[in-house]
Homo-oligomer: A and B are copies of this chain.
Amino acid sequence: MASDMYAVVLAGGGGTRLWPLSRRARPKPFLPLLGAESLFQLTLRRLVPLIQTEDTIVVAEQGHLPLVSEQAPELLSRHLVGEPVGRNTAAAIALAALTSQRGPEEVMIVLPADHFIADEAGFRSVLSAAANAAGDGSLVTLGINATGPETGYGYIVGGEGAVSEHGARHVDRFVEKPPRERATKLLADPRGAWWNAGIFVWRHDALIDGLERHAPAIIGPIKRGLEAGQSLRSIYEMLPDVSIDRALLEPASLEGAVRVVPTDVGWSDLGSWDALHRALAGRSGSLDGVVAVGRAEDLSSQGVLTHSSGGRLVVTVGLRDTIVVDTPDVVLICASDRAQDVRAIVDRLAEAKETDYL
- Nearest chain-B residue to A329 (Cβ)? B312
The answer to whether A315 and B335 touch (CB under 8 A), given A299-B341, A341-B299, is: no
Interface presence of A317 (CB below 8 A): yes
A317 CB contacts on chain B under 8 angstroms? 332-335, 338, 341-342, 345
B313 and A333 contacting across the interface, CB-CB below 8 Å: no
B330 and A312 contacting across the interface, CB-CB below 8 Å: yes
Q: Contact check: which of B315, B319, B333, B341 meets A20 at CB < 8 Å?
A: B315
Interface presence of A232 (CB below 8 A): no
B322 and A333 contacting across the interface, CB-CB below 8 Å: yes
B331 and A312 contacting across the interface, CB-CB below 8 Å: yes
Q: Contact check: which of B319, B322, B331 meets A315 at CB < 8 Å?
A: B331
- Nearest chain-B residue to A332 (Cβ)? B315
Interface size class of A (residues with CB under 8 A): 35 or more
Name the distance in Å between A77's Cβ and chain B's nearest Cβ. 38
Which A153-212 residues have a C-beta within 8 angstroms of B?
none
Name the distance in Å between A260's Cβ and chain B's nearest Cβ. 37
Which A15-49 residues have a C-beta within 8 angstroms of B?
20
Interface presence of A114 (CB below 8 A): no
- Nearest chain-B residue to A324 (Cβ)? B333
A324 CB contacts on chain B under 8 angstroms? 331, 333
Interface presence of A51 (CB below 8 A): no
A318 and B331 contacting across the interface, CB-CB below 8 Å: no
A319 CB contacts on chain B under 8 angstroms? 322, 333-335
Name the distance in Å between A62's Cβ and chain B's nearest Cβ. 30
Which A316-348 residues have a C-beta within 8 angstroms of B?
316-320, 322, 324, 326, 328-335, 337-338, 341-342, 344-345, 348
Docked complex Cα distance between A304 and B130 (Å): 51
Name the distance in Å between A346's Cβ and chain B's nearest Cβ. 10
Name the distance in Å between A298's Cβ and chain B's nearest Cβ. 9
A314 CB contacts on chain B under 8 angstroms? 330-331, 333
A357 and B313 contacting across the interface, CB-CB below 8 Å: yes
Interface presence of A227 (CB below 8 A): no
B318 and A330 contacting across the interface, CB-CB below 8 Å: no
A337 and B318 contacting across the interface, CB-CB below 8 Å: yes
Interface presence of A70 (CB below 8 A): no
Q: Can you list 25 A-B pairs, Cβ within 8 angstroms, ordered by A?
A: A297-B348, A297-B349, A299-B338, A300-B341, A312-B329, A312-B331, A313-B357, A314-B330, A314-B333, A315-B331, A315-B332, A315-B333, A315-B334, A317-B332, A317-B333, A317-B334, A317-B335, A317-B345, A318-B338, A318-B341, A319-B322, A319-B334, A320-B335, A322-B322, A324-B331
